[in-house]
Chain A
C-alpha cells in the first residue's frame, strides 16, 4: 500500500536533483555578473526655466551573446544521463566548457567580429575594413610574403629534418648521442634569440660577415635572414617527429617486401613512403603554422620585408588602427586553421607505423662511405652551428661592446638588475600559467579519453584549437574581448596568466591523452568499483599515474610562457611588464651585448627548468617536446 507522499518526502527524494539545479543557477548567475553589467547612463538633459533636468537610463553592457553561449554550453552535458547522476563530474565538464568558451573560442571569435566592424567605433557589420584592406598594396604583399615564406620554410625544414632524423636513427655515424641533443638545441630557446644571435654573427657588425669575411654589401635583414632563422628554429620539430617514425619502422617489413621480390624503388614506394608520408606532412604543416605565426624573428631581422603577424602588431600599437589590425589577424588565422585541420585529419587516419615494438624496429643500416660521410657532415654542421649560436649569446653577454670591443666585462650581467622586476613577473606568470594549464590539460585529457557525453568532441576540439592560433592573434583577440567594462582585465596579471595557460593547453592536453591511453582503463574502474568516488579516483589513481605527463605539461607551458613574446607584447602593461618584452626592447634599441645578457639568462632558466623535469620524471627535454 503506497503511503501518500508528504512535501518533505518529495524534497528528500529529489535532493540530488535540487542540489544540481541550485549549483547550476549559482554558476550561471556568477557567469552573468562576469560577462555582463548594468550601468546607469545619461539619457537626456534639458534646461527648463533655469532648472536642469537630467534623465538617466539603465543600459546593459558586456556580452549577452557570450552569456547565452555559456548557458547553452552548460546545458549540453545535462543531456548525458551518466553525467546527471554524478554532480561532481557534471560540474567539472560544465566548468571546462565554460572556460574554453570564454578563454579560447570567444577571443578568437572576436578577431573575426572586429574585422567586420566599421571604423571609428561604428559597431555595425561592414566590409569596410576589408575594402580598405585590399586597396592597400601592403596587405597583398604581406599576405603573399607570409604564404611564400611559410611554404619555403616548411618545405626546407622538413626536408633537412628528414635527412637529419634518418641519419641519426638508422645509420651508423659516430657521436650520435651528443649530436641528437645538439641538433634540437634550439627547441628550448626563445625563438627570437636565434635571430638575435644571427645578428651577432652575420649582422652589420657581425663577427663572421663583418670581421671574418669583410662583407659589407650583403645584409642579413630581409627574407634570406628570416628563412635561415626559421630553418634553425623549426628543423628540430621536424627532426623529432621523423625520428619517432624512423625508429619505430619495423625492419622486418622492409625485409618482407624485399623477400617478396620488391626492387629498391618498389620498396620505397610500397613500404617506406606510406610509412613516412603522414609524418612528413605533419612536420610540414606544423612548421608551416610555426613559420606564418612567427612574430619575434621578423620584427628583429625582417628589415622591410612585410609579413602579416608583425603588420597586425604595427597597425594596432604603432599606427592605432585596431580594425585593420584585426582584419590582418583574420588573414593570418585562416591558413593556420586550414593547415591545422589538415594535420588533424592526417593524424586521425589510421596510422601505418606499426607500433609492434618488435625486436627489429629501428635497426641500423650499414651505409657505404659515399653516403655516410656527407650525411654525417650535414648533421655535424647543424649541431656545431647551433652550438655557435648559443655560444655567441653567452660570449656576447660577457664582452663590452660586441663588434667593437671584445674585452670581458660583468657590466651586462649587472645590467640585468634593472630588469629584476620584469624577471619576477615573468617567473610568476609562467609558473602559475604552467600549473593552471597543466591541471586543465590533465583533467580535460581524462574527460575526453574516459567518459562518453554529449559535447566531448567539441571539448577536445576547443582544447586543441589554440595550437593553430598565432600568438599575435591570441594577444589581439584577448585585448578586443576583455578590454572594456565589465571585464577591465587588460593590464592585470590575470589576463596574461589565462592567455598563456590556454594558449599552451593543447600540448598539456595531448600529452595527457597520450599518457591516459597507456593506462589500463580497468584501473580506474577498479577504483570506482571498490567504492571510491570519481574525484577520489582521479586523485588517488588517475593523477598519480599521469604524474609524469602532468609535470611535462607544466614545465612545457612554463618554458613557453617564459619565452613568449607575440602574445605577451599585447598583454603586458606598465604594471605587468614581462621579461621577454623588456628583452625585445633592449634588442631593438639597446646595445647587442646588453641584450645578449638577457637572452643568456633566459636560456639558463630554461635549462634549469629542463633539469628539474629530468630530476622529477627521468625524462629528457627531447621527450618533452615530442608532442604530435
Chain B
C-alpha cells in the first residue's frame, strides 16, 4: 500500500454487548472502547467468548443485547458486507477455487472497482506481503505462512476501517508464529489501523498488543497495557492467566492510604496498594522471578527442591516449603552459572520485600 497516509481508520466501541446461545451466555455485558489506530488483544482461555465477541463486531452474530459502533456509526443492525471491517480467519478461509490474485481482488470486485485500479491495488498488496510473482498459484500451493499473508492482503486491500483477527497464527508452527506476529504488528503499526486481535496465547498477546482485554466466562475481567496487567492483576484469574504466578494467602497486619503490611509464610511484605476490602480474606501474587533462593543459614524460609527444568535462559524450580508443603515456582535467571540446586536439596528461599498490589 503506497498511500499509507490516507488510510482512514476508526475507533470501535462495544456497549453492554451480550450474546446468548441456547443455554450458554457466551458473551456477558462486554463494554470496550478501542482507540483509533491501536491494537487490542482479546485474551482468555478457550470458550470464554472471544471469537463470539469478534464475530459480533464483524456482523456474523447478532448480539442478544447491546450495541456495536465503528467510528460514530452504529453498525449493530448492519449485515457483514455493509460494515467497514475486514477479518483474518484462523483457517485463513482462502477461496480454494480462485488463484492468489483472484483471492486478493475479490473484495475490490465486489465493490465494482475499475479493473485497472484493481490491478494496481492487488499488485501493491502482494508487494507489501512479499508475495509478488505468485499471482496465479492456487492457495493450496502456498505454505501456511504464505497463505496467512494472502489472507492479510485480501483483508487490507479493501481499505477497511478496522481489522479483526481470530487466532490468525494458531495454524503455524512455533517459529513461524513468532516471525509472523512481528510482521502482522509491523503492518498494523505502519498503516495505523484499528485492530482487534483474538488469542488464547498470553505471550502472543503481550508481545503485540497496545491494550490487552482479559476475558473469562464471557465477561471482560480486566483491561490494560501488558505491563499493567502483569503488575497489577485485578484478580486471581488474571494473575494466573497472564503468567505463571504463585498466589498465596496473606494475613493483613496493618494498612493505611499509602499501602499495607502483610504476612506471608511468616515473612513481612509491604504492598504499595491497600486492599479494597480489609475484612475479606486477601492473597498476594508472587512472580516466580521475584522469589530468590538464598544460601545463608539463618535467613529465608526453609524449603526443599522438588523439580528443576531449564527453559531457555532461566532455570525453573518448584520448591516445597518445609512444614505445610506449600509449593512455589521459582525462576532463576542465568542458569549457566555454577549456582544450581539438584532435586531434593534443602534450600532457603526469600520472598520480595514489596509487591505492587494485593488480591482480595
Binding site for B on A (CB under 8 A): 81-82, 85-86, 520, 522-523, 525-534, 536-537, 540-541, 544-545
Contact = CB atoms under 8 A, between A and B. Distances in A.
B81 interface: yes
A22 B322 CA distance: 81
B110 A545 contact: no
A545 B85 contact: no
B154 interface: yes
B60 A85 contact: no
A522 B89 contact: yes
Contacts of A528: 59-60, 79-81
Nearest to A523: B93
B106 interface: yes
B359 interface: no
Nearest to B97: A544
B86 A529 contact: yes
A529 B58 contact: yes
A530 B97 contact: no
> Which of B62, B80, B86, B97 gathers most chain A CB within 10 Å?
B80
A381 B337 CA distance: 82
B110 A531 contact: yes
B12 to A, nearest CB: 15
B80 A525 contact: yes
A520 B91 contact: yes
Interface string B73-90: 000011111010111011
A374 to B, nearest CB: 47
A541 B81 contact: no
A599 B175 CA distance: 66
Nearest to B164: A529
A512 to B, nearest CB: 17
Given A528-B80, A528-B81, A529-B80, A523 B95 contact: yes
B112 to A, nearest CB: 10
Nearest to A525: B60
Where chain A touches its partner, the secondary structure class is helix
Contacts of A525: 58, 60, 80, 87, 89, 93
Interface of B: 58-60, 62, 77-81, 83, 85-87, 89-91, 93, 95-97, 106-107, 110-111, 154-155, 158
B96 A530 contact: no
Contacts of A544: 97
B97 A531 contact: no
Contacts of B87: 525-526, 529
Given A82-B62, A525-B60, A545-B96, A532 B81 contact: yes
A373 to B, nearest CB: 46
B110 A532 contact: yes
Where chain B touches its partner, the secondary structure class is loop
B91 A530 contact: no
A86 B79 contact: yes
Q: Which 10 A-B residue pairs are closest in the complex by CB-CB distance?
A: A530-B107, A522-B93, A526-B93, A532-B110, A528-B80, A531-B110, A522-B89, A528-B81, A529-B87, A544-B97
A376 B192 CA distance: 71
A85 B80 CA distance: 11
A533 B96 contact: no
Contacts of A536: 110
A84 to B, nearest CB: 10
21 contacts: A85-B77, A522-B89, A522-B93, A525-B80, A525-B93, A526-B87, A526-B93, A526-B154, A527-B95, A528-B60, A528-B79, A529-B80, A530-B110, A530-B154, A531-B81, A531-B111, A532-B81, A532-B107, A532-B110, A537-B81, A545-B97
A531 B111 CA distance: 7
B106 A532 contact: yes
> Which of A82, A86, A525 gathers most chain B CB within 10 Å?
A525
Given A86-B79, A532-B110, A545-B96, A522 B91 contact: yes
> Which of A82, A520, A529, A541 gathers most chain B CB within 10 Å?
A529
B197 to A, nearest CB: 16
Given A526-B95, A532-B81, 16 more contacts: A85-B79, A520-B91, A520-B93, A522-B93, A525-B80, A525-B93, A526-B154, A528-B79, A529-B81, A529-B87, A530-B107, A531-B110, A531-B111, A532-B106, A537-B81, A544-B97
Nearest to B102: A540
Contacts of B86: 529-530
B118 to A, nearest CB: 13
Contacts of B106: 527, 530, 532, 540
Contacts of B110: 527, 530-533, 536
Given A82-B62, A528-B80, A541 B95 contact: yes
Contacts of A529: 58-60, 80-81, 83, 85-87
B7 to A, nearest CB: 17
Nearest to B58: A529
> Which of A523, A531, A536, A545 gathers most chain B CB within 10 Å?
A531
Nearest to A532: B110
Contacts of A86: 79
B158 A526 contact: no
A166 B110 CA distance: 51
A148 B90 CA distance: 56
A544 B102 CA distance: 14
Nearest to B80: A528
Contacts of A532: 81, 106-107, 110
Given A530-B110, A545-B96, A81 B154 contact: no
> Which of A86, A522, A533, A537 gathers most chain B CB within 10 Å?
A522
A471 B192 CA distance: 65
Nearest to B106: A530
A311 B59 CA distance: 57
A81 B90 CA distance: 28
A235 B79 CA distance: 49
A525 B62 CA distance: 14
Nearest to A89: B79
Nearest to B55: A525
Contacts of B158: 530-531
Contacts of B107: 530-532
A619 B154 CA distance: 33
